[in-house]
Amino acid sequence: MAEFTMELNDEQREVRDWLHGFAADVIRPAAAEWDEREETPWPVIQEAAKVGIYSLDFYAQQYFDPTGLGIPMAMEELFWGDAGIALSIVGTGLAAVGVLANGTEEQIGTWIPQMYGDQTDVKVAAFCSSEPDAGSDVASMRTRAVYDEAADEWVINGTKTWATNGGIAGVHVVVASVDPELGSKGHASFIVPPGTAGLAQGQKFKKHGIRASHTAEVILDHVRVPGSCLLGGKEKLDERLARAREKAKAAGGERVKNAAMATFEASRPAVGAMAVGTARAAYEVALDYARTREQFGRPIIDNQGVAFQLADMRTQIDAARLLVWRASWMAVNGRPFTAAEGSMSKLFASETAKKVTAQAIQILGGNGYTREYPVERMHRDSAIYTIFEGTSEIQRLVIARTLAGMTIR
C-alpha cells in the first residue's frame, strides 16, 4: 500500500506540467469560442489525441497510479484550462471505466480501443445511465433489456438522459434493468456497437454551463445487441441475479438495497478534482486582477475586504484538494470510506467551486460580469459540480447515513 503524501514524485510533476502546458496553450485559447458555439470541440480533442492525452493508455496510467493522485491531478489541470472542453476530452473515460469495471478481458480488448479511435479518426463514447424519472433514484430505472434466447440477443427499450456524448458517440454503454423486482440489483450494462439500429439521439440540451460538452437524450427503440455485448457475460449475470433473489427472499421480500450508491462513492473524488481546477482558475484570475487593478490610488488587494476574500478562496481551494486527494488515495489503496470520504470530497469541492467563482466575479466587479473575462464562464460551469455524479443534497444524505451507521442505498 502506498503511503499517503502531498508531495508529487518527479514523474507526476512532469505529467502535471505537461498537462498544464496543454491546458494553457491549447484549451484556454479555444474556450470562449466553443462555449459560444455550444458544440463538441473536435479539433481540440484531436490535438489531445495527437499528444497522447486523449487515449486509453494515458487514462489507464493515471487510474492505476498507486498513490491515487494521478486522476485528480490530471482532472484539476485540464479543468483549470476550461471545464466544457475538458469534459469533452475526459467524457469517454466514463464509458471506458464502465467496461473496465464490468467487462471480460475480451470485451475490454474489443470495445475500449473503438471508444477512442486513433489520431487520424478520433471517436468518443457515451455512458448512459440517468433517465427522466431515474436520476439519483437509480432503482427506479425503466429502461428494460429482455433476452431473446432463440437469437442470443438482448432487446433494449427506453430513454436515457443527460448522456455526455449521447447520440454522437460510436460506442454507447447502456445500463438497463433485466429484473425490475430486484431494483438496482437487477441492473446490467450493455455495449451498443456503432451503427446499431434503433438507437437515436433525442433532445440535445442547451446548457447554462459546460457548453462545449455535448449532452443529450438517447432513445433506444427495440435495440438488438448480440449476447456477447452483455458486460461480464450471461453466466455471471445469472449468478448475480440468483444471489440477489435469495437475499431478497431472506429479507422477507423487502426491496433489495441499492449498492450503486456505494459504487459511485469511489468515483466522486474525480468530480471533486474537476471542481478544484475550475475554482483555482477563477481564484488566479481574481488574484491577478486584484494586484493590478487600482482604485483610489492603490491596488484593490490592499483593501482588507478584497484581501480577506482572496485568503478565504485560497484556503477553501487547498482544503478541497486535501479532501479529494485523501479520498483518491483511499479508493486506490482499498481503504473503506467509513465516513463517506468520497462524498465529503465531492460535496466540499463542488460547493467551493460555486462560492469561489462567485467571489471572483465580485472582485472583478462589472468586468467580472462580462464575457470579456473568463470568470463569468467559470461561474456558469461551476454550477454543474453540485448536480452531476450526485447532487450536494445526495452527498449530505450519504454522509449522514454513513455516520448514523445506516446502509448506503
Contact status, residue 160 vs residue 195, Cβ threshold 8 Å: no
Q: Does domain 10-122 have CATH number 3.30.750.24?
A: no
* pLDDT on residue 53: 96
Classify domain 260-403 at the CATH topology level.
Butyryl-CoA Dehydrogenase, subunit A; domain 3 (1.20.140)
* pLDDT on residue 409: 52
Classify domain 125-250 at the CATH topology level.
Butyryl-CoA Dehydrogenase, subunit A; domain 2 (2.40.110)
Residues of the chain with pLDDT under 70: 1, 135-137, 251-266, 407-409
* pLDDT on residue 259: 36
Entry pTM? 0.92
Query: What residue ranges of the chain are covered by domains with CATH 1.20.140.10?
Result: 260-403
**Which three cell numbers, joined as nine digits, stand for 35?**
462555449
Complete DSSP assignment for 294-312: EETTEEGGGSHHHHHHHHH
* pLDDT on residue 265: 57
d(CA 15, CA 98): 25
Query: What residue ranges of the chain are covered by domains with CATH 1.10.540.10?
Result: 10-122
Residues known to be catalytic: 389
Query: What residue ranges of the chain are covered by domains with CATH 2.40.110.10?
Result: 125-250
* pLDDT on residue 252: 52
d(CA 155, CA 248): 26
* pLDDT on residue 253: 45
